[in-house]
Amino acid sequence: MTAPHLQAHQLVWHADNKAIIDQISFAQNKGETVGIVGPNGAGKTSLLKCLYGEHVAKSGEVLISGEKLVALSRKQLAQKVAVVGQHYDSVFNLTVIDIVKMGLIPHKSHFDLNTDADRAIIESALKKVNLLDKQFQYFNTLSGGEQQRCLIARAIVQRPEILIMDEPTNHLDVYYQHQILSLSKALGFTVLMTIHDLNLAAQYCDRILLMANGKQLAFDTPINVLQQPLLEQVFKLPCMIDIHPLTQKVRVSFGGVS
Amino acid sequence: MDTRLPFVPGILVLLGLVVMSLTLAMGFGAAELGFANIWQCMTNTCERSIYQTILLDVRLPRVLMGFLAGFALAAAGALMQNVTRNPLADPYLFGIVAGAALGATLSGLLPEQFQAFSLPFAAFLGALFAVFIVITVLMHNNWRRIEHLLLAGVAVSFLLSAISSFILYFGEAFAANRVIFWMMGSLARADYQSLSYVAPVVLISCVLALVFSRQLDALLLSDESARTLGVNVDKVRLVALVVCAAMTAVVVSYCGGIAFVGLMIPHIVRPFFGITTAKLLLSAGLIGGCFLVWVDVVARTIVTGQEIPIGVITSVIGSVFFLFLMRRM
């Protein structure tokens, strides 16, 4: 049996002596897409930061392809895990190609120059995200969906095993939400993301990790996690579960605040 | 709008501009030497031996120092702005000039038996002292916060300037004048010996910055984003800051306070050469070098028989430019 691609084991992380991440354990297989869902302040982003090494866990451990995260160098980690963060706002005018090129960094030593092979990788990444004609545009002038695609192109150039995305569908209209999620699945990476929209999670994720107050409430397939009593308890809203007529996936509908 | 130039042809044009500026600038000064004279001296022997002395011993080191100082200040400014992601950052923010001024003040005003060092060397020590304080404070504090770096630099600047002012106030008037003139900036001190100190520092600093250029580029988006690309952010930023400090300190020690070059030139260059470190550093350096060479020409010709301190001119140009920039931003 091969080791899970990404595994967290009884992960705990504190901020100001308060447990923000409390005993999270899950294992994700190669090629699987996992969505982390839960209310605001559940600790979703903090969990991601523990998994890509930005936060150092207080106890527990993270394993990447069976290797301990803490034993990997920064560079080794960057060769295995790429991150598409939530929001970047550079005061300087970085172009799309400037950002996509950054994906080469984990594969280069100080004295390496960019080769034709590197340029080919960059071009093919830009093609995959359909930004080839916008490569010299300024990142700050792109739409939200284009910015996400630019960062995904950077991740493609980084050639990781695991792609971690924090709220990739935030601020995007319906079309772009589906575009980004289909794209991230089509790339063949093991994908872990936080996501607010439970129906998108049901449609695109193989498994869902439900969190509240830093604790793990469920980790299973969408149909097993998205259950009425559990969701009503977590989100404090009346809720109904049925099957989406177009996608045949679980559909969650919430009633308003009474 | 994309105003960027292709990099290699752009740099070649700049190099041409540099060669032209250095050659033509040698023709200006108290003794009028035509381009024909310069050409003759360069290709053959000089018409009169005094020309050779003027050109080779006085003007050549001076234009070279002008170019090097401009290159170093502009490159350091570009690096500093990138590494702090702050377009208003300046190599002087570290308190480097204030530190150098304190060093110069002490060396100029102490009784003679304590004057162990020459003025430039004392200024260099003073500049390093300022950088040392800033970095030490940050190491103890939360060194990751960029704002802290900028604020610490400003605070150290004020402190050291206050000490210098105090010493100058009670100091002997003639010596005080000497220090004050030094602070205004001048290339008059330039000779081959001073070039032999400044050039290697600038060269090594730039090579180091270029070696780290990819990592420095990663910082442009955000620190966290750079860390996810495998960059040791604290280390890279420290290298860049030390490099900036070394270049600026060595230039300030020999040429005094030449303000605004490091702030202004990267802003002029960015629309044409982009913001990635290697391209910005080289293009800003070359343009900064040309700029200072011509400012020095103005400084030594605008008033007949007298030199205007070069720092005064760069400050005037720089501050007007700065106000225009603020209107556009």
Specify the pLDDT at position B122. Answer: 86
Confidence of residue B42 (pLDDT cuts 50, 70, 90): confident
Strands A190-194 and A162-166: parallel
Residue B13 domain-assigned (yes or no): no
pLDDT 10s digits, A73-121: 999 999 999 999 887 777 788 999 999 999 999 999 888 888 899 999 9
Q: How far is A174 from chain B (nearest CA, A)?
A: 27
Q: Which of A187-201, B69-83, B117-131 has the lowest mean pLDDT?
A: B117-131
- Cα distance between residue B74 and residue B76, in whole Å: 5
Q: Which of B7-16, B40-49, B181-190, B223-232 has the lowest mean pLDDT?
A: B40-49
A18 close to B (CB below 8 A): no
Looking at the predicted structure, is the pLDDT value of residue B281 above 70? Answer: yes
Residue B86 domain-assigned (yes or no): yes
- Cα distance between residue B100 and residue B122, in whole Å: 7
Q: Which residue range(s) make up the domain with B219? A: 72-328
ipTM of the complex: 0.90
Looking at residue A6, what DSSP letter applies? E
Number of domains chain B is built from? 1
Contacts with A90 from chain B: Cβ below 8 Å:
85, 220-222
Across the interface, whether the CB atoms of B2 and A136 are under 8 A apart is answered: yes
Looking at residue A2, what DSSP letter applies? P
Confidence of residue A2 (pLDDT cuts 50, 70, 90): confident
Confidence of residue B247 (pLDDT cuts 50, 70, 90): very high
- Cα distance between residue B60 and residue A212, in whole Å: 72
Specify the pLDDT at position B1. Answer: 45
Specify the pLDDT at position A22. Answer: 92
Fold assignment, A6-254: Rossmann fold (3.40.50)
Mean pLDDT of B187-192: 87
Q: How far is B278 from chain A (nearest CA, A)?
A: 12
A158 close to B (CB below 8 A): yes
Specify the pLDDT at position A7. Answer: 93
Residue B34 domain-assigned (yes or no): no
Residue B28 domain-assigned (yes or no): no
Specify the pLDDT at position A246. Answer: 93
Residue B30 domain-assigned (yes or no): no
Amino acid letter, A41: G
B90 vs A203, residue with greater confidence: A203
Residue B109 domain-assigned (yes or no): yes
Across the interface, whether the CB atoms of B228 and A111 are under 8 A apart is answered: no
CATH number of the domain within which B316 lies: 1.10.3470.10
What count of residues does chain A have?
258
Across the interface, whether the CB atoms of B85 and A92 are under 8 A apart is answered: yes
The CA R_g of chain B, rounded to the nearest whole Å, is 20
Contacts of B114 (CB under 8 A, 6+ apart): none
Looking at residue B200, what DSSP letter applies? H
Specify the pLDDT at position B111. Answer: 65
Percent with pLDDT over 90 in chain B: 38
Specify the pLDDT at position B173. Answer: 81
Residue B66 domain-assigned (yes or no): no
For B50, the token pair is 């005094």
